[in-house]
Amino acid sequence: MENIDGGFAPEKGGAATRSGFSFDRGWLLVIAVVLTITALIVSRPDPFKRIFFFVQDGIWVTISVTVISFLLMLITGLIVALLRLTKSAFIKAVATSYVEIIRGIPLLVQLLFWYFAFPTVIQSIGKALRFSLFENYLANPVAMAVVGLTFCYSAYMSEVYRAGIQSISKGQMEAARSLGMSYVQAMRYVILPQAVRVILPPVGNEFISLLKDSSLISVVAVADMTRRGREFMAANFIPIETWVMVALLYLIMTLVAARVVHWIEIKTRLEK
């Protein structure tokens, strides 16, 4: 029986279920992509082997920027979601405005703003205040890429959190408060643990989307895998081989991420 996310689970009562083990056939696709990359490198080391070793440092930049942005996004998204659920009309309006505005601006435009426009704003403030540290501020490409990705994806993540929290029955909060818990304690120990189980699939999808969209940071001088691919193509004029290899490397990362999310979802799933 095929799951929604592409994995396969055994039928109830099958041998795999009785033994407590089921093989996720989604890993077969991961293996197939790995074998394809290996075959290309072995059969045609020039150019595929050269391409692989040229972009491999960009792979680690892509992964590190994605993971750091994802962790920050989880924290910031939760804060924004809680602000949108507060009883204060002003705070709720500010948080809602942030979500609506950020979701309405393309990620590429936001990355360009953080790298090119934001430093100019800081420098202008420094000149107005005669503060030399701000006057001489220069943007760090990786730091601005992380800020841009986090700032954008936190808006989407906050909606995931909010939907998960609101899916929990109000009686759960009332029961926790009747036991003497404060609102913060009830949210921390009762509501959020249940909401996390609900939102795990969309959170995994957000991570995969973030991983793919991280390719946009190549336009702001970050030497990620996409930028390294552009550099190799510009120097060697072999676009087909270059982008086939880059596409396969992105594919294997997204497939592995999808399988890991699927495994975590199974481990945290409540038995029925």
Taking the mean position of all CA atoms in its chain, how far away is CA 204?
A: 8
Partners of 8 in beta bridges: 2
Spatial neighbors of 25 by CB under 8 A, at least 6 apart, are 7, 8
Nearest CA-CA partner of 252 in 4, 40, 42, 47 = 40
Write the DSSP symbol of residue 260. H
Q: What local confidence, expressed as pLDDT, does residue 21 receive?
A: 53
Angstrom CA distances, 96 to 5, 71, 101, 115, stand at: 30, 22, 9, 25
Q: What is the 3-state secondary structure (H, E, C) of 34-85?
A: HHHHHHHHHHCHHHHHHHHHHHHHHHHHHHHHHHHHHHHHHHHHHHHHHHHC
The predicted pLDDT at position 174 comes to 84
pLDDT in the model for residue 1? 44
Q: Which two tokens stand for residue 182?
A: 């404060």
Q: Give all domains of the chain, ordered by start, each with its CATH number.
A: 15-268 (1.10.3720.10)
Q: Return the structure tokens found at 127.
A: 């000149």
Return the amino acid letter for 138: L
> Cα dihedral sign for 57, 59, 64, 66?
positive
Query: Is 189 in contact with 172 (CB distance < 8 Å)?
Result: no
pLDDT in tens, 122-158: 999 988 888 888 888 888 999 999 999 999 999 999 9
Residue by residue, pLDDT tens for the chain (272 residues) are: 444 444 444 444 443 444 455 677 888 999 999 999 999 999 999 899 999 999 999 999 999 999 999 999 999 999 999 999 888 899 999 999 999 999 999 999 999 999 999 999 999 998 888 888 888 888 899 999 999 999 999 999 999 999 998 888 888 888 888 888 888 888 888 888 888 888 888 898 899 999 999 999 999 989 999 999 999 999 988 999 999 999 999 999 999 998 988 888 787 775 54
Contact 74, 157 (CB under 8 A): yes
Label residue 73 exposed, middle or buried (CB < 10 Å: 0-12, 13-18, 19+).
Answer: buried
